[in-house]
Amino acid sequence: MVKKKTAVAATSAPTPTLKAQIVEPKATPAEAQLHAWERAVRHFGRQEFEPALAAFTEAAGGPAAHVADKARSYVQICERKLARHDLDLRTAEDHFNYGVERLNSRDTEQAKIHLGRAAALEPDADHILYTFALCCGMSGDGNGAYENLKRAIGLDPRNRIIARQDPEFSSLFPQFPALRALLGDEAN
């Protein structure tokens, strides 16, 4: 019996080779949140508020409540920092209101700038001078606090009574005895 040879066709397709593939496991939601937080903090430290805002927003959506809460706080800070460039403060009241907002946020440097501008635009506005005096005192400027409060009292003597009862001013008396003296013995 004659055996027939069967031809084996050679295929031109290369045989698959095994390449070492590094497959990184997918990050868990908590890990993704921490990575977003770390990116956000780096951007924030460089004062890159737009990318920081995006990363903090991403971190705020993560599962760890304490990280999400902090991220939401920083989202608001980034939004304020970005909105600051769009401020159009023209009047004394505009500067006064913004200065009060900054003072309430304990940003005494910006508050002092805007309250000073408001006082320059309306030098006879006792409420501006009173608040400017408080801001000066809170920022460590005892002379500025004294002079502005003195002017506010000169414009409206009721400011003396108000300052005596104001806990913010009361906290400044030990640091600035001239303020206590300006308000009289009842301020002790």
Give residues with Cβ within 8 angstroms of 30, minimum separation 6.
Answer: 62, 63, 64
Given this model, what pLDDT does residue 188 score?
47
Domain limits, the chain: 29-84, 92-187
For helices 142-155 and 126-138, angle between their N-to-C axes, nearest 10 degrees: 160
Q: Report the share of the chain in percent with pLDDT over 70.
A: 82
Given this model, what pLDDT does residue 83 score?
76
User: Residues 1-48: pLDDT tens digits?
Assistant: 555 554 444 445 555 555 555 555 688 999 999 999 999 999 999 988
Rounded-to-integer distance, Cα 111 and Cα 121, Å:
15
User: Residues 171-182: pLDDT tens digits?
Assistant: 999 999 999 999
**Phi/psi at 172 (nearest 5 deg)?**
-90, -15
User: Residues 131-144: pLDDT tens digits?
Assistant: 999 999 999 999 99
What's the pTM?
Answer: 0.56
User: Residues 111-159: pLDDT tens digits?
Assistant: 999 999 999 999 999 999 999 999 999 999 999 999 999 999 999 999 9
Q: Which CATH class is domain 92-187?
A: mainly alpha
CB contact at 8 A, 125 and 118: yes
User: Residues 67-81: pLDDT tens digits?
Assistant: 999 999 999 988 888
Rounded-to-integer distance, Cα 12 and Cα 23, Å:
30
For residue 115, CA distances in Å to 28, 89, 121, 169, 185 come to 48, 12, 10, 17, 29
Rounded-to-integer distance, Cα 28 and Cα 18, Å:
29
